[in-house]
Structure 1
């Protein structure tokens, strides 16, 4: 006796929903760092290229030569999975769209997991400007100091600087005229669904609800250049749905193979914010 198959239109509709929702509800950090897709194998490397010196030469002398260092940073891939079961008969009894609900559920979980992997990599930063004592943005002087740290480190202000802060920091920033008053900053730029980011002091500022915390439960906020961290992808987000006869249920399963690594902590500063 043949087992019942899932209607093809049901499968195609679900796949479309899942992919769309991952784009809308997915990682906030993925598009702010270096990405390397199509990785074959269990790991890949990101290259760190050293600085080149410039000098003069004497008449008939040799041109000064630099040995630009190459320091590869290895990033290992992790196979990540998520699944839910939808009872076949339950779908006849519920009034909401269970497929749509679970599409959002899985997409949000995988997106958050992507950010967790990236944040774990950033948390390894040993930048000398890291601050482990909880601070607040009671005045603009603290954010301005962060800008100065990046400038003094010769990090380019090329539109690729990001400030990922906890919601408490975001709320305090909104109390600063220098941050929220149109007389000081340009119009807001909506750059991912549902959250407004501001460009201020050369950084793209945005709030994040799942930042790691220290021993006092204060959030670790990250200020970084896109090139500081790498995200390697072996297989991007995908999902499938299968009918399991022994459970009389449809199993929705999503997976992704990826990893992240800190490439250069010169351009990644971690500062603890008073959020407990």
Structure 2
């Protein structure tokens, strides 16, 4: 028995893990401000304040805006997702065990990426709702209004996250669900996860705080309000463990997330246990 796995197998496995991570792992990484190839244990995102215009006397000096720059530190953490593939078990199964482990590891790390970002978003203090009801037109409009009130850019980079139950409630709101209001992409026939409404790209997500409880939290946010940093993207390592007669397949990454601008994140507080009207 060789003490190492074939090199081509390793390269193929690493490619499959990376593809699985991009395909069904993290849903949120592309929706936030991101830094890759970070060197060190942390990195810094700059939060830039608002400029203020002023007048001046003829031939007088212009008053500098003195735009505020606030450094926001994002600390990286190391995460691992590994499992054993018993050599003799491979001969007893009729499925591709390599692909099973690749997907499990990549999706697990993807969920961790989203968990970091959702935890960062949950630090915001701006909210609508009071945990007593489900998603309504008033709550959806209120979340967008809160972003508008904080001068958050309406530039196509606003995102909204709803639990599966709240997504179902949203589909009972005619203005959200009907093609008469939002175009010809019929909601009950959609295969993708997102739906653009009031300038926000709304998405279903199963990892939100309080899902299926009376204190559910959904979010509306701008891409630049949350930061994601990666020191090492998803990487795989496969080694032969002779004392276990198995290959140990390990997937790992070094990543972090932070709240850059609390005014760019709005919590939508709902009761996620309420039944869908008419159900």
Say yes or no: TM over 0.5: yes
User: Which whole-Å CA distance do the structure 1 matches of 2:38 and 2:132 have between them?
Assistant: 39
Q: Which residue of 2 aligns with 1:244?
A: 241
Point out where structure 2 has 5 or more consecutive residues left out of the alignment.
Answer: 274-279
Q: Which residue of 2 aligns with 1:88?
A: 87
Match in the other structure for 1:62: 61
Cα distance change on mapping 1:17 and 1:123 into 2, 3 Å: same
Q: 1:144 aligns with which of 141, 149, 153?
A: 141
Out of 138, 154, 159, which is 1:157 matched to? 154
Contact kept? 2:227, 2:259, Cα under 8 Å: yes
Structure 1 unaligned regions, length at least 5: none
Q: 1:76–1:183: structure 2 CA closer, same or farther, 3 Å change rule? A: same
Q: Give me the whole-angstrom Cα distance separating, in 1, the residues matched to 2:180 and 2:238.
A: 52
SS at match of 1:164: strand
Q: CA RMSD in A?
A: 2.1
Deviates more, 1:11-20 or 1:36-45: 11-20
- Which residue in 2 is equivalent to 1:223? 220
| 2:77 equivalent to 1:78 | yes
Q: Secondary structure at the match of 1:183?
A: helix
> Which residue of 131, 135, 140 corresponds with 1:133?
131
| Separation in 1, partners of 2:132, 2:96 | 44
Change in Cα spacing, 1:47 to 1:130, as seen in structure 2 (3 Å) is farther
Normalising by structure 2, report the TM-score: 0.91
Alignment partner, residue 46 of structure 2: 47
Q: Give me the whole-angstrom Cα distance separating, in 1, the residues matched to 2:251 and 2:186.
A: 31
**TM-score relative to the length of structure 1:** 0.92
After TM superposition, give the deviation of residue 58 of structure 1 in Å. Answer: 1.9
Shift of 1:136: 1.5
Give secondary structure in 2 for the equivalent of 1:253: strand
CA contact (8 A) 1:118 1:231 kept: yes
Partner of 2:167: 170
Q: Is this contact kept in 1: 2:194–2:201, CA < 8 A?
A: yes
Question: Is contact 2:241-2:247 (8 Å) kept?
Answer: yes
Q: CA offsets per residue over residues 22-54 of structure 1, 9 Å max, x none?
A: 111111111100001111110111001111111
Deviates more, 1:165-174 or 1:145-154: 145-154
How many residue pairs align between the two structures? 271
Instruction: Determine helix, strand or coil for the equivalent of 1:135.
Output: coil
SS at match of 1:146: helix
Secondary structure in structure 2 of the residue aligned to 1:81 = strand
Q: Name 1:274's counterpart in structure 2.
A: 271
Are the aligned partners of 1:189 and 1:196 in contact in 2 as well (CA < 8 Å)?
no
CA contact (8 A) 1:188 1:196 kept: no
